[in-house]
Amino acid sequence: MSEYNFIYISNSSESEKTNCRMEILNSEMVLLGAQAADKVDAIRQAGEVLIKAGCVAPAYVDGMLARERVMSTYLGSGIAIPHGELADLQSVYHTGVSVLQLPKGIEWEPGERAYLVIGLASIDQEHVQVLTNLVELLQAPETITQLVQATDPMVIVERLTRGRSETGWN
């Protein structure tokens, strides 16, 4: 195992947990320097990463798009968190997070650009640490800039999976 911290989940019984662990975010789930035509394209790309990682069925991406039509997933400060609706849980195999880094950004809402598109798929509350870290990021614009400019996907993985007991932004 590398020096980086990961959040692990298991969808197996207690006796199998030591043998069946999965990362909800790893470097292969981060697309650096991505480009998207619009927010629909960005959501599709974030969803495709979740499909490729084995987190969701293709139908989940349709749920992410449907959710966006009902209510914007733009958080502000250049971050959007597209995710499915409750009815889409049947398309989630295990919790996962994808990150689309868009250095040029895309218009998410009129006058608002998203630079980090963080796709979420969760079975239970396993994504809470990532969301907690996102809330912290919203309070630190300089860190968002660092993540938007990162050239190593592990910088993003480490920051989004950092435990509450860890302090500092770098």
Q: Which residues are catalytic?
A: 83
DSSP 8: E
- Candidates 88, 97, 157; CA nearest to 127 is 97
The three-point CA angle 115-121-127 to 5° equals 85
CA distance readout (Å), 150 to 22, 154, 159: 24, 9, 11
